[in-house]
Amino acid sequence: MANMQEVLERQERERRERMRRRAASKRAQRELDEQLGMAVALLEEENQSRRGSREGRAPNVDIHRHSRGKNLMEEDYFIPHSLYYDVHFRARYRM
């Protein structure tokens, strides 16, 4: 009878130890998930505040690719407030 009691007590200790480890593992996983979430949020915030393709560069020129059916020369270059700078025109058309 004493052996049976010892076996039951040992099983109970092992069960408690497994539960303690499982709870610690879940706690550690939750902390890791929170840290990962914060890191992703910080990266998204950093990317939103960035204007150019690289940090310190000028913002990208919006060239309206969705409306390219119109004549490039008349719509983008030869208007009072052209979409591109003179430097872009000269580089593209070698002038």
Structure confidence by residue, pLDDT tens digits, 61-84:
777 666 655 556 566 666 777 777
- Domain of residue 75 covers 68-95
DSSP secondary structure letters along the chain: -HHHHHHHHHHHHHHHHHHHHHHHHHHHHHHHHHHHHHHHHHHHHHHHH--BSSTTSPBPP---GGGTTS-HIIIIISSTT-SS-HHHHHHHHT-
Cα–Cα distance, 75 to 11 (Å, whole number):
82
**Is the domain of 82 the same as that of 46?**
no
Instruction: Establish if 57 belongs to a structural domain.
Output: no
| pTM metric for this prediction | 0.41
Domain count, the chain: 2
Q: What is the pLDDT of residue 25?
A: 93
**What does residue 68 show for φ and ψ, rounded to 5 degrees?**
-80, 5
Q: What is the mean pLDDT of the chain?
A: 78
**Is the domain of 76 the same as that of 42?**
no
